Structure 1
Amino acid sequence: MSTLSLAGGPVSWGVDFADATGNPPYTEVLDGVASSGLRWVELGPVGYLPRDPGEARAALAARDLAAVGTFVFDDFHRPDAAGRVLDAVDAALDAIVETGGALLVLIDRPGEERAGTAGRATLAPRLPDADWARMIDLLRRSADRATARGVRPVVHPHAGGFIEFEDEVERLLAATERDELGLCLDTGHALYAGGDPAELVRRYGRRVEHLHLKDVAATVRTRELGFWEAIAAGIFCPVGDGLLDLDALRTALDETGYDGFATVEQDRRPGSAGDPAHDLRRSVTRLRAAGLG
């Protein structure tokens, strides 16, 4: 049997970048996560929650929330960005350790080269071998820094990034060892890339150490949009409204004995239509009704 500890996070409010125009106050997000009945939260980009450790811990404690960890959403595929990426890793690790979190999620973010072909494997340009090797090296260096501070690093395949499609995930896993890097399986991004989340859970087995649970709207999935345009068009929807098969996912997780966190997300842009807190509550209700958390 699987055990899922459900969490929420600022991503469902459109917060991918701490300084983005239109981000809601962090207090609104934390209130929304707590109102959904969740007791765990991903912290979001460094600098969104208060940078002062005591203030951040107090904000969580006031809502009976505990930290899962956070992410680094950056250009791992760009050799010239390595210094900035490692600085971001160190800042994220500071935030995780200071709030008692456990996970660092590493994400190669969509750039101009791939965002326009997100979800379309036959059209997406692939990273040259030399740049791929440098990206793997940067992920490993980031993982080493996390491990040294007692934080578990996981890589998140992401629509529009250079680790998106199944062949790229397989190549990543073949190039790294289980003891150095785990995998964060995002059900929405897996669906976006044309995969079956339940089958991927079975295939990757114990390499899956973190989950992002989100759903994809079928009507938007069929449109040939770039990644950011697809988000603005509402490609990600409340869990249960789209393509995600909850029963199949639960069965696969039970078979592999998954035991860990699962962050409930709905990627959107700041200021997008809809009520993030309401959508999160709907998703959580449906997940729990399906035996997931």
Structure 2
Amino acid sequence: MASALDRIRVGSAPDSWGVWFPDDPQQVPWERFLDEVAEAGYSWIELGPYGYLPTDPARLTDEVTKRNLKVSAGTIFCGLHRGPSEWDSTWEQVSRVAALTQAMDAKHLVVIPSFWRDDKTAEILEPPELTTEQWRNLTTGMERLGREVKDRYGLDIVVHPHADTHIDTEEHVERFLDSTDSDAVNLCLDTGHYAYCGGDSVKLIETYGERIGYLHLKQVDPEILADVVKNEVPFGPAVARGVMCEPPAGVPELGPVLTAAQKLGVDLFAIVEQDMYPCEPDKPLPIAVRTRKFLRSCGA
């Protein structure tokens, strides 16, 4: 039996049930997600896309409490690299999600940069590399967001490196961390996305440990990923091919990642997020059960 990872709080998310949108006929109903995530043995969840779960705090509290669940974070997307003109539309979204997140007694807001490539059509929306000015917009904008979210809602923002966004590779992630203030902004390290973009999660935790504020656990199928990279497949179709796979079949190994995180000596959420959009409604639960069992075998 692996040693106990007593600083790691394991949960799951709507993403692991094939949920990417607030409303989509291909997705399981929210009631089924809540029932099944509890049945699979998780005690923490994320809100997922705003509007998928009930947005009335009293109702949502009732729904999660009766299933012995708690909320760890909300999620937003933003394009702050475009400059101050993006602030108002970003804040409109943030204020809704942060208010619900706060009402659920969660402490984190996961912030995902906007995509430079359409994740369905592969249309190139923006250049994949930012200019110096855009980098400055991104870093100063994220710091402002972090400070205002903390001041108004008491939440910590954790920025999520993500495939097909401008914070993806090791080089981009390190540049972002080196250019931002840890008092305002830290990282949601998604092990699958970081591997998808060529990064080493254990190395990042060991090098920038004080900046790791939150974890998403997922794995990548190396063979599918090699073809995705070779043929420049966008993220959405790559997921439909199964590029994000059930652990422990892929990379990185999650045991060493969790051990490295435990050594940081702080409490960390580790939320399972196996991208599976779209997927058959009966597929997620057995995977979730096996994944929870696997993580227990790692000590989490």
Query: TM-score higher than 0.5 here?
Result: yes
* Partner Cα separation in structure 1 for residue 72 and residue 167 of structure 2: 23
Q: Is the 8 A contact 1:23 1:270 kept in 2?
A: yes
Q: Is the 8 A contact 1:24 1:270 kept in 2?
A: no
Which AA in structure 1 matches 2:128?
P
Query: Aligned pair count?
Result: 287
Deviates more, 1:210-219 or 1:237-246: 237-246
**Of 92, 97, 101, which aligns to 2:102?**
97
* Partner Cα separation in structure 1 for residue 38 and residue 163 of structure 2: 28
Other structure's SS at 2:259 match: helix
Q: Is the 8 A contact 1:232 1:272 kept in 2?
A: no
Equivalent residue, structure 1, for 2:139:
136
For each residue in 1:25-84, what CA deviation from the matched residue of structure 2 results, as whole angstroms up to 9, or x when unmatched? 111111121011111111112111112111111110110101101110233434454322
Q: Is the 8 A contact 1:114 1:125 kept in 2?
A: no
1:112 corresponds to 2:117: yes
1:146 corresponds to 2:154: no
Equivalent residue, structure 2, for 1:166:
170
* Partner Cα separation in structure 2 for residue 57 and residue 105 of structure 1: 20
**Of 283, 286, 297, which aligns to 1:289?**
297
Name the CA shift for 1:113/1:33 in 2 (closer, same or farther; >3 Å).
closer
Matched-pair identity in %: 33
Equivalent residue, structure 1, for 2:271:
263
Shift of 1:16: 2.4
Shift of 1:111: 3.0
Deviates more, 1:255-264 or 1:277-286: 255-264
**Of 7, 10, 17, which aligns to 1:13?**
17
* Partner Cα separation in structure 2 for residue 239 and residue 81 of structure 1: 38
Q: Is the 8 A contact 2:113 2:166 kept in 1?
A: yes
Equivalent residue, structure 2, for 1:176:
180
Q: Is the 8 A contact 1:8 1:33 kept in 2?
A: yes
* Partner Cα separation in structure 2 for residue 113 and residue 268 of structure 1: 17
Matches within 5 A, 1:17-96: 17-79=21-83, 80-96=85-101
Other structure's SS at 1:77 match: helix
Other structure's SS at 1:262 match: strand
Q: Is the 8 A contact 2:216 2:271 kept in 1?
A: yes
Equivalent residue, structure 2, for 1:277:
285
* Partner Cα separation in structure 1 for residue 119 and residue 237 of structure 2: 13
Other structure's SS at 1:241 match: coil
Other structure's SS at 1:212 match: strand
Deviates more, 1:228-237 or 1:68-77: 68-77
Other structure's SS at 1:19 match: coil
Deviates more, 1:34-43 or 1:135-144: 135-144
Shift of 1:198: 1.2
Deviates more, 1:190-199 or 1:69-78: 69-78
* Partner Cα separation in structure 2 for residue 137 and residue 86 of structure 1: 15
What do you get for the CA RMSD once the two structures are aligned?
Answer: 2.2
Shift of 1:112: 2.2
Which AA in structure 1 matches 2:56?
D
Which AA in structure 1 matches 2:143?
R
Shift of 1:4: 0.5
Shift of 1:268: 1.7
Name the CA shift for 1:227/1:14 in 2 (closer, same or farther; >3 Å).
same
Matches within 5 A, 1:244-263: 244-263=252-271
